[in-house]
A and B are shown apart, each in its own frame.
Chain A
Amino acid sequence: MNELISIFIGMALVNNFVLSRFLGLCPFFGVSKKLDNALSMGIAVTLVMFLASVVTWFIYHHILVPFNVEYMKIIIYIVVIASLVQIVEMAIKRTNVTLYNALGIYLPLITTNCAVLGITLINTQEDFSLIQSMVSALGGGIGFLFVLVIMSGIRERLELSDVPKSMKGLPIAFITAMLLSLTFFGFGGMV
């Protein structure tokens, strides 16, 4: 149990996906302008990360390893993620139209989100068991959601503040990310 908790905290806070592994930066800077969008995107990414981790764990340990074709993992994982995103999109469309409209445009973008492929590769690299993979995916996803929401809150305020002309937009967002990343260093001692 202790081990699972330390994996979770390690993924969510210490080695945060955005701030210390630099995964998922495109949505981080693209979507984090509004709080609602950030929340929807974060939830969608967490969901896909979790599902992708479970599916790729089974594929890796029950198909790739027995047939000795581990080197195919990159191709297989990206195909799995792309199809998973399609399936999740269809499932949400059928069951919950409100949620579908809220997530709408972000769902297809998740395929090329490096956080999703990143978590599956990290799980394989660390040789996690099924339960460990699930926990690490949840940790990574929640850490991503957490940072996206914080960032969007700050950026909503930045819109109103007086920023030097050449720092407007992306540069000031990077500076904010730098300060956040420095803050997250404080979690370093936790694991």
Chain B
Amino acid sequence: MSRLRKEFLKGIIISNPVFVLALGLCPALAISISIDNALGMSMGVAIVLLGSNIMVATLRKIVPNAVRIPVFIVIIASFVTIIDLLFQAYFPPLHQSLGIYLPLIVVNCIVLGRAEAFASKNPIFDSIADALGIAIGFMLALLLVSFIRQMLGTGMLTVFGKELLRLPGLASHPMALFVLPPGAFLVIALLLALFRRMGVLKNE
């Protein structure tokens, strides 16, 4: 049990996919303009990661070593197709705003990276714990970036149409830069530098 807990916790901080491993940056930067998007994206990644980790761990003794990467990719692509259709059916606005970044989970290095580095060598329950940990780490990173960008870029915090918070002054004159592409680079750069300064991340 403690082993599972260790695999689960390591994904959240020690090997946080976005900030520590610098994986999965494309979606983290592209869709982090609102909390809604961040929740939708991390839900998608979590389902795909969980599904592919379970499948890969189950099949790890059957799949020949030479063709393992193509097999993993096809498994991942199948799960991505499933969530693409699910989102299209149940959350059309979210599907619209995530656009091509939802199908692009296929080439998200986090998912293939976990399949190759962890699930292909470990039993199913460890792989499930690993997938959950990494998915939550990814979600926290995405939420942090989206929170900053949405607050500064629009001056208010809305989650699924409900307004939670409104900053006086900033709401009437938002810093639109933060919801534009340069803002994404700036926020990630400052967060990385801050984490290094605080000693959470190692300097290069």
Residues in A lying within 8 Å of B, measured CB to CB = 19-26, 29, 71-72, 74-75, 78-79, 82, 111-114, 117-118, 121-122, 125, 164-175, 177-179, 181-182, 185
Contacts and interface: CB of A to CB of B under 8 A. Distances in A.
Interface of B: 22-23, 25-27, 29-30, 70, 73-74, 77-78, 80-81, 84-85, 99-100, 103-104, 106-109, 112, 180-186, 188-190, 192-194, 196-197, 203-204
Name the 5 nearest CB pairs between A and B, nearest first.
Answer: A174-B189, A178-B185, A169-B204, A166-B196, A22-B30
A121 B190 CA distance: 32
B183 to A, nearest CB: 8
A166 B185 contact: no
Contacts of B84: 71, 74
Contacts, number: 116
Given A165-B203, A181-B181, A78 B106 contact: yes
Nearest to A175: B189
B109 A171 contact: no
B103 to A, nearest CB: 5
A78 B107 contact: yes
Contact of A122 (B30, B78, B100, B108): B100
Contacts of B108: 114
A167 B103 contact: no
Given A74-B84, A79-B73, A172-B189, 17 more contacts: A22-B26, A22-B30, A29-B25, A72-B81, A79-B77, A114-B107, A114-B108, A117-B104, A125-B100, A171-B192, A171-B193, A174-B185, A174-B186, A177-B185, A181-B182, A181-B185, A182-B182
7 contacts: A75-B81, A78-B73, A114-B107, A170-B189, A171-B192, A178-B186, A178-B189
